Amino acid sequence: MFQKGLKDVVAVQTKIAAVEGNKGELRYRGRLVEETIANHSFEETAYFLWTGEFPPDDRSEALKLQFVKYRSLPPYIQMIAEELPREAPLMDKMRTLLSAYYDQEYLSLPPVVQAVALTSALPVMTAMLYRLQKGKEIIAPSNQLGHTANYLWMLNGENPADAQIEALETYLKLTMEHGMNASTFAARVTVSTESDMVAAVTSALGTMKGPLHGGAPSGVISLLEEIGSAERTQSVITRKLEGGEKIMGFGHRIYRTEDPRSILLRRKCLELQGSDPWLDLAVDAEKQITQLLNERKPGRALYTNVEFYAAAIMRSIEMPPELFTPTFSIARIVGWTAHVIEQQADNVIFRPQSEYVGN
């Protein structure tokens, strides 16, 4: 049977995450995402996705140190980064650097440690490439900071504020994993040939670059910029809807209720409200746009998707738009590597058929 794009075809059975579109639920390892991420760091949440358990209290510090250890990259990585064309897109350069990751010891490490190493290395590479692109000096990783704070530190060379770290970490934890999306599938297909985790993540990064997968939040930024102030929302949105345009950051293929990730990101925005006019505009715009969509498209259940508040949060922490997809990848590498581990544990090579329809 031929199914274009494998739509609705179940290609994998997984214990990592469940996306329940009708109920508006996302579960990591059987637990609601909101419960899973509360009171757990990026490192602990990643470990939970990889293993199904949180590290015991006395292992949490060791896990953090393991992440710190793998922030140190071999010197040849920086040499390659310096040779890459400045104007090339960051996602291309991240794919190249990650694919060059090699360490004699690496392939003999347990899979979860391999996952820690790559998850820890990717933001270091990204910050290095970003600073080179801007003609700025590379900042060395900090041994004191957690995963998220270190990323901000290496990007900006300043100690990030707690609110900034928390906002970004909430986004990263919520977008680590989302079932069988295109990049995750690419990672699983690659490793199913008994290739390795570096190759699988390289495939996934190539897949993530496409605008149909990793590239939507900048559309929300343009929308909010066009709205500009709360009293303009109604006229801007009405004009767009009358012209048949889709409103960026609203609607979802799977969720028929509110996207649970959007609810949590909105909560974070509300906590930060008053600290940034962008967040205030986003919170107000959501209310007005949801109402307008409901009036114009009754019964379609159109709500904000994860991109809407992700964009607001990124903007409020002054993350430049060219870093949106790279930052999404820094989160999703956890899901990719979790799926690689699951695939390796019970592997069958992906080998679908093609149907010849030529002459």
Q: Which residues bind ligand COA (CB under 6 A)?
A: 216, 246-253, 297, 300, 302, 305-307
For the range 82-90, what are the long-range contacts, defined as Cβ-Cβ under 8 Å and sequence gap of 24 or more?
82/132, 84/129, 84/132, 86/132, 86/133, 86/135, 87/133, 89/209, 89/322, 90/126, 90/129, 90/130, 90/133, 90/322, 90/323, 90/325, 90/326
274: left (phi over 0), alpha (psi -120 to 50) or beta: left
Of 241, 249, 224, nearest in space to 308 by CA: 249
Of 194, 200, 180, nearest in space to 337 by CA: 200
Cβ distance to ligand COA smaller for residue 19 or 128: 19
Of 290, 141, 293, 289, nearest in space to 226 by CA: 289
Cβ distance to ligand COA smaller for residue 164 or 262: 262
Residue 252 C-beta: closest distance to ligand COA, Å: 5
Which ranges of 134-259 would DSSP assign to H, the alpha helix? 147-156, 162-174, 182-191, 197-208, 217-227, 233-242
Cβ distance to ligand COA smaller for residue 286 or 307: 307
Looking up tokens 């910050």 gives 127
**Given 40, 147, 178, 252, the catalytic residue:** 252
Cα 94 to Cα 329: distance, rounded to the nearest angstrom: 10
Residue 297 C-beta: closest distance to ligand COA, Å: 5
Residue 15 C-beta: closest distance to ligand COA, Å: 24
Residue 219 C-beta: closest distance to ligand COA, Å: 7
Cβ distance to ligand COA smaller for residue 37 or 237: 237
Residue 296 C-beta: closest distance to ligand COA, Å: 8
- Please confirm, yes or no, whether 339 is among the known catalytic residues: no
Identify whether the C-beta of residue 19 lies closer than 8 Å to the C-beta of residue 260: no
Cβ distance to ligand COA smaller for residue 204 or 220: 220
Residue 256 C-beta: closest distance to ligand COA, Å: 8
Identify whether the C-beta of residue 306 lies closer than 8 Å to the C-beta of residue 258: no
**Given 43, 177, 286, 307, the catalytic residue:** 307
Cβ distance to ligand COA smaller for residue 15 or 296: 296
- Please confirm, yes or no, whether 178 is among the known catalytic residues: no
Q: What is the identity of the amino acid at 137?
A: E
Task: Compute the radius of gyration of the chain from its Cα atoms.
Answer: 21
When CB distances to ligand COA are compared, the closest residue is 251
**60: helix, strand or coil:** helix
DSSP 1: -
Of 300, 209, 231, 217, nearest in space to 262 by CA: 217
What are the catalytic residues?
Answer: 252, 307
